[in-house]
């Protein structure tokens, strides 16, 4: 039951509470956001510079073109500078992109179509988009899987959480972040680091 609660807890909400709705496709799906422009590289690489060390992620524009272009649009305008990992669950995920370093929620108006059916699975080290229970509600929040979390993948009864990249260097830093002490802070009711873990910036790396 705890694992199910963690799955449904992976939402892009301002206040993280203990109860979450079931994540099933609606009978009449809401209109999806407009497709983002295609990414320019098949495998862009990004350096994530944090207060606890750096790690590198490689994006999969071939399998998740809309999500990659969407994420890069936030990266290129500096959205992630001085944001925090606001949700950390040991052996599950670290999640970021929703709050600044003062724990103020960040406005992220652009949404992206859910690409969770792209064949990429939520295995250890992969990067996915967080969202609310609405399938196409992912904005700027993302997470890194600390374990194999196939329960986040889609199935016949519900949408999944779209994977769009993977950590290719610095997984030890990700694991270190995933083991910090957590609790409640301000509007975040649980599972937030007691000492802020700050993303100083995310920057593109030269094409390999």
Span 55-82, pLDDT tens digits: 999 999 999 999 999 999 999 999 999 9
Distance CA(122)–CA(146), nearest Å, equals: 10
Residue 30, pLDDT score: 46
- Flag residues of the chain having pLDDT under 50: 1-5, 8, 12-30, 37-40
**What is residue 9's predicted lDDT score, i.e. its pLDDT?**
55
Residue matched to tokens 């959205």: 79
**pTM of this prediction exceeds 0.75:** yes
Sign of CA dihedral 54, 59, 64, 65: positive
CB 144 within 8 A of CB 52: no
pLDDT recorded at residue 26: 36
Architecture of domain 2-10+38-204 in this structure: Beta Barrel (2.40)
Q: What is the pLDDT of residues 180-196, one digit of tens each?
A: 999 998 889 999 999 99
Confidence at residue 207, expressed as pLDDT on a 0 to 100 scale: 83
- Tell me how far apart the alpha carbons of residues 179 and 176 are, in angstroms, rounded to a whole number: 5
Q: HSE, CB side, 13 Å, CA atoms: give it for residue 63.
A: 16
């Amino acid at each position: 039951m705890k694992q199910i609660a963690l799955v449904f807890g992976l939402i892009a909400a301002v206040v993280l509470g203990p109860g979450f709705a079931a994540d099933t496709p609606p009978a009449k799906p809401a209109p999806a956001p407009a497709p983002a422009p295609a990414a320019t590289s098949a495998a862009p690489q990004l350096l994530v510079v944090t207060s606890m060390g750096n790690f590198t992620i490689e994006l999969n524009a071939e399998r998740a073109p809309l999500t990659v272009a969407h994420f890069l649009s936030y990266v290129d305008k500096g959205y992630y500078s001085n944001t925090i990992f606001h949700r950390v669950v040991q052996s599950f995920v670290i999640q970021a992109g929703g709050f600044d370093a003062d724990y103020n929620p960040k406005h992220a108006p652009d949404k992206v179509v859910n690409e969770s059916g792209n064949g990429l699975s939520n295995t250890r080290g992969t990067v996915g988009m967080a969202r609310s229970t609405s399938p196409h509600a992912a904005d700027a929040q993302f997470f890194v899987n600390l374990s194999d979390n196939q329960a986040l993948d889609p199935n016949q009864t519900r949408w999944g959480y779209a994977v769009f990249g993977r950590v290719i260097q610095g997984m030890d830093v990700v694991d270190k972040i995933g083991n910090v002490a957590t609790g409640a802070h301000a509007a975040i009711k649980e599972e937030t680091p007691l000492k802020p873990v700050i993303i100083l910036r995310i920057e593109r790396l030269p094409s390999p």
